[in-house]
Amino acid sequence: MTDPRPTLTQASGPAHSRILGIGGVRGEIVVTNDDVAGPIDSSDEWIRKRTGIITRRRSGPGTDVLDLSEAAARAALDDAGLTGADIDVVILSTITYFSQTPAGAAIVADRIGATPAAAYDISAACAGYCYGIGQADALVRSGAARNVLVIAAEKLSDFIDPTDRSISFLLGDGAGAVVIGPSETPGIGPTIWGSDGSQARLISQTHTWREAVDNGTWPTLRQEGASVFKWAVWQMAPIAEKAMAAAGVTAQDIDAFIPHQANMRIIDQMIKQLKLPTSVVIGRDIAETGNTSAASIPLATERLLREGQVSSGALALQIGFGAGLVYAAQVVVLP
Amino acid sequence: MAYSEQEILAGLAEIVSEETGLPTDSVSPEKSFTDDLDIDSLSMMTIVTLAEEKFSVRIPDEEVKNLTTVGDAVSFIAGAQG
């Protein structure tokens, strides 16, 4: 007797995916080192030497993380030559959206005309963009979606303490977005990703939301900078090497290195550890934009493309790392 | 094979010199990393990590703040050798 139950159809997708378009927006206010130096008893010179930051960009009170997301998403759609109606999934990576539910992604999806796209938020801090790229690549190639919009957006200025010397003075606001879709040729290498919750205390908010409500104390961000520096350089460089190996390329093949824009000192030391040739273009958007967490890699990428430092089709090694601790890296072909 | 304190001092001086540009003979045991050698916390972490690799020891992050002088670091590394 034959089994009466039907055999299910499972989705399958194209062999390859790539980034089809990119967009980014930065906070409209230029905040100088002199603007933030007073409350931390510091100076322009000290901040430049220690972080490589000259200015950071922040948004005013009239702008929230969804406004930044929408603007970046529209720019990415334009760059890809698509509209919201072409998008099947919207992934929003952010740690600075104030509503626990509903997800910001659904609201942004609706604003850009992507309804009824599937939409959800992810919390992977400074690794959020690379986490999103990894998910979007998998969704496209599995046939779960044709085009995925990945948005990485932060309004970190809502979580700063002007007297904090550990992280607040680094932080800026902005959003980057990309559209990931099917491709005739490989455009996204394997994502090497992971986490280490045993080191969760190294970067965190000062209070949980529950404590904030109970105590009336607004949470802000803190980090143990020296320990984060050590982890970011010496633990993350091998992750970047794994991403290159998994993609079948070497440091000699890479056109651009675009790490999370945490601190110029981390970037410089990673370049050393990775032994990148001097021909590799380095993402250094932190100097003018500051550290925008999840948004920093797409913003640095957008700048390199806009300024003509790299061209469409260039191979970029990107790596995000941050609070969790979490990390993700992959090699991508730039749009 | 364990390194002698002299060997550790010489190796550490090379690492500090590489990171800061200071001559190796300025890296003597009584020198304070912060006050005399003008080494900030990120440079200190670079020095610590390179020393860990060179001498095959582990220097926990929480221990680094106790390493005030070059001599402190030499003693710690000498004691941490397996």
pLDDT tens digits along A154-194:
999 999 999 999 999 999 999 999 999 999 999 999 999 99
Local structure of A166: helix, strand or coil: coil
Contact between B45 and A227 using a beta-carbon 8 Å cutoff: yes
pLDDT tens digits along A11-52:
999 999 999 999 999 999 999 999 999 999 999 999 999 999
Residue A2 has pLDDT above 80, yes or no: no
Q: In which band, very low, low, confident or very high, does the pLDDT at A310 lie, cut at 50, 70 and 90?
A: very high
Contact between A226 and B64 using a beta-carbon 8 Å cutoff: yes
| Residue A83 neighbours by CB distance under 10 Å | 13
User: To probe the interface with A, which of B20, B38, B46, B63 has the most A CB atoms within 10 Å?
Assistant: B46
| ipTM for the assembly | 0.86
Of 2.40.440.10, 3.40.47.10, 3.30.70.1290, 3.20.20.70, the CATH number of A16-183 is: 3.40.47.10
Residue A317 has pLDDT above 80, yes or no: yes
Nearest alpha-carbon partner for A20 in A81, A88, A108: A81
CATH number of B15's domain:
1.10.1200.10
Integer angstrom CA distances of residue B13 from A10, A126, B30, B59: 63, 35, 13, 17
Contact between A227 and B49 using a beta-carbon 8 Å cutoff: no
Q: In which band, very low, low, confident or very high, does the pLDDT at A3 lie, cut at 50, 70 and 90?
A: confident
Counting one residue from chain A and one from chain B, the pairs whose CB atoms sit within 8 A come to 26
Provide the β-strand partners of residue A151.
Answer: A92, A177
Domain count within chain B: 1
Q: State how far residue B9 is from chain A, nearest Cα, in angstroms.
A: 22
| Residue range(s) occupied by CATH 3.40.47.10 in chain A | 16-183, 192-333
**What's the fold here for domain A192-333?**
Peroxisomal Thiolase; Chain A, domain 1 (3.40.47)
pLDDT tens digits along B5-53:
999 999 999 999 999 999 999 999 999 999 999 999 899 999 999 999 9
Residues of A in contact with B61 (CB under 8 A): 224, 226-227, 230
Q: State how far residue B80 is from chain A, nearest Cα, in angstroms.
A: 19
